[in-house]
Amino acid sequence: MAEEKNSVEVEETAEATTEVKQETPKQDPQEFLENFDWDKYEDGIERVEDSKLEEFEKLVAENFVDTADEEVVEGTVVYLTDREAIIDINAKSEGVISLNEFRYNPNLKVGDKVEVLIDIREDKSGQLVLSHRKARTIMAWDRVNAAHDKEEIVSGFVKCRTKGGMIVDVFGIEAFLPGSQIDVKPIRDYDQYVGKTMEFKVVKINHEFKNVVVSHKALIEADIEEQKKEIISQLEKGQVLEGVVKNITSYGVFVDLGGVDGLVHITDLSWSRINHPNEVVELDQKINVVILDFDENKSRIQLGMKQLEKHPWDALSDDIKVGDKVKGKVVVIADYGAFIEVVEGVEGLIHVSEMSWSTHLRSAQDFVNVGDEVEAVVLTLDREDRKMSLGIKQLTPDPWTDITTKYPVGSRHTGIVRNFTNFGVFVEMEEGIDGLIYISDLSWTKKIKHPSEFVSVGDKMEVEVLELDVEGRKLSLGHKQTTENPWDKYEQEFAEGTVHKAAITEVVDKGATIEFNEDITAFVPQRHMEKEDGSKLVKGEEAEFRIIEFNKDFKRVVASHTAIFREEEQRNIKAAQKKAAAAADEAKPTIGDANEALQALKDKMEAGSKKK
């Protein structure tokens, strides 16, 4: 086949030459080839004129490709097999190229023009071997640069995946396609693109390292931008559109409206309370949304889904009224109470004060948990403002109804310490009934600065009802009243004038303190700390003290050491006076002696006072 084609080409070349130079007819090259005896020529038997040889070589040079030239030439696909492509480059014979070199172009067909480089002039079978890959490599860099400068769209073959993206064959050069530049939406499966031919835009070239970066996303964005402008110009509030869920976050859903993204906030997805948007929608789902609002440039579009449905409060049955019992699920718990979903999208609040008859408020979590099914009573219902308040404690009788029968004044009971403040202790008598013990009613004798010094939360305490206010729902309790008041006994034991022995516990500016026992602590004024010799009592020194003041109500006891020897002095004076009077009655002549003795005693006492 090659020989026949060569003959035809030679004949056509000869005819063309004849047309150009008709005035000098020359021998037909084809005829020359057919009649020429190559054997005689090679053996030197028959010689050919040099002019004829030169003419023939000129014809061949003008009409045939020089297969020794390494320049890239253009050829035509003339035949395709399962493994190879036969390419005509206008040479003495057709060339062969493996189809592997055309993987980037799976649609190669007969008649297509391709660039080739002569790889082997002739193989063992005399076949011309060509390379399309080498030809593309030679021309690739210039073409890539031109495409980048002119911002032209190029075609590339996705060869494989790599870290962070894909490797793309563009003009025979391996270019990098970042994962973020594949599409405008996040790509979860990169493998779906391997082996595909796609269009790209050359976005970056590193001339030093011969690196090329391409983008398919840039082409999509250009188309989307046009669509976006058209869509934005038609947007109106209240307009209902169909979109596709593009991304789901904890705060809402991004919806693709056909080139324009809008956000459905989590609160606009459903009338019911939800924890995460994926409870309502999923990725790539088609949904209907309504435009709620947008900014001046319409670049931030607020969408809604629940607005396409009737508000649940509007559909709430007219049969529900205040005082009715309803059932619902706990959907949210706050510090101040719990929200109960009575029907889908309709919630009522149970305030923590409505969870128990107890006036001692606790956390709502002490009564209910999220997800619990509870029964409650409707306390208030406002359909216009769409508000409903509920109560749980109303399902049980009010314990204060027969409080006077259960807890009359003077009765004694056992309660549990639930809490305490600076001024007292709250004791729970039963669920719903709390009483307060003031700090002064905790102990008869101990001086308590804070209730935590005396009791702990959770302790059981014996109490006595001191006061009862039914209307104010207040119960006043006492703990010390459940025991005998030791100060009744101390009132006799430490009565004024009684003498007791004790040691100085502490000395202060105005005096000192002494402890007669664990309950009785007495105060000794400074002037009552003087001893008989004129010195002062010191800390730790033991002595006798006389009680000079005892107040049971204020638990005040005052003692004196000085009064001990002062009283003795007074007794001595009285005794001397009595003795002198008796002596005067018995013997008048000796009255002078008695007066002298009395005067001597007075002088002694005065001397002692001056010394002090």
CATH number of 151-220: 2.40.50.140
The Cα–Cα gap between 142 and 122 comes to 30
The CATH code belonging to domain 237-308 is 2.40.50.140
Q: Is the pLDDT of residue 14 over 50?
A: no
Q: Looking at the predicted structure, is the pLDDT value of residue 324 above 50? A: yes
What would the mean pLDDT of 126-134 be, rounded to a whole number?
73
Work out the average pLDDT over 136-164.
83
**CB contact at 8 A, 290 and 239:** yes
Write out pLDDT tens, residues 444-501. Answer: 778 888 998 889 998 999 999 999 888 888 889 999 888 888 777 787 888 888 888 8
With a CB cutoff of 8 Å and minimum separation 6, the contacts of 557 are 494, 516, 520, 521, 522, 523, 547, 549, 550, 551
The CATH topology of domain 73-136 is OB fold (Dihydrolipoamide Acetyltransferase, E2P) (2.40.50)
pLDDT at 390 (0 to 100): 93
Residue 164, pLDDT above cutoff 70:
yes
Tell me which architecture the domain covering 403-482 has in CATH: Beta Barrel (2.40)
pLDDT at residue 9 tops 50: no
Helix axis angle, 50-63 to 2-20, nearest 10°: 110
User: Where does the pLDDT of residue 579 fall: very low under 50, low under 70, confident under 90, or very high at 90 and above?
Assistant: low
pLDDT reading at 97 higher than 50: yes
Domain 325-395 in CATH 2.40.50.140: yes
What is the mean predicted confidence (pLDDT) over 27-48?
Answer: 54
What percent of the chain has a predicted confidence (pLDDT) above 90? Answer: 14
Q: What pLDDT digit, counting tens, does each position of 288-302 carry?
A: 999 988 876 667 889
Give the DSSP H or E segment for 8: helix 2-20
pLDDT tens string 172-185: 788 898 888 888 77
Distances (CA, A) of 516 to 522, 543, 544, 545: 7, 12, 11, 10
Confidence of residue 323 (pLDDT cuts 50, 70, 90): confident
- Please report which confidence band the pLDDT of residue 57 belongs to, taking 50, 70 and 90 as the band edges: low
Separation between Cα atoms, residue 290 and residue 287, nearest integer Å: 10
Q: Which two tokens stand for residue 550?
A: 């005892």
Number of H helices, E strands in the chain: 10, 30
Q: Cα dihedral sign for 474, 480, 482, 485?
A: negative
Distance CA 46, CA 29 (A): 18
Q: Which fold has domain 486-560?
A: OB fold (Dihydrolipoamide Acetyltransferase, E2P) (2.40.50)
pLDDT-derived band at 379, boundaries 50, 70, 90: very high
Q: In whole angstroms, give the CA distance from residue 426 to residue 417.
A: 6
Using the predicted structure, report yes or no on whether residue 46 has a pLDDT greater than 80: no
**Mean pLDDT: which of 126-130, 200-204, 445-449 is highest?**
200-204
Burial of 427 (0-12, 13-18, 19+ CB in 10 A): buried
Q: Do domains 403-482 and 486-560 have the same CATH topology?
A: yes
pLDDT band at 21 (very low <50, low <70, confident <90, very high): very low
Contacts 24+ apart (CB under 8 A), 331-337: 331/272, 331/273, 331/370, 332/273, 332/370, 333/364, 333/365, 333/368, 333/369, 333/370, 334/364, 335/363, 335/364, 336/364, 337/364
Q: What is the DSSP string of 222-266?
A: HHHHHHHHHHHHT--TT-EEEEEEEEE-SSEEEEESSS-EEEEEG
Both tokens of 197, joined, read 């031919």
Residue 593 structure tokens: 């002696």
- Cα–Cα distance, 173 to 96 (Å, whole number): 22
Which positions ≥6 away from 466 have C-beta within 8 Å?
409, 441, 476, 477, 478, 481
Sequence spans of domains, the chain: 2-63, 73-136, 151-220, 237-308, 325-395, 403-482, 486-560, 567-611
**Cβ contacts of 45 within 8 Å, gap of 6 or more:** none
The SS3 assignment for 367 reads coil
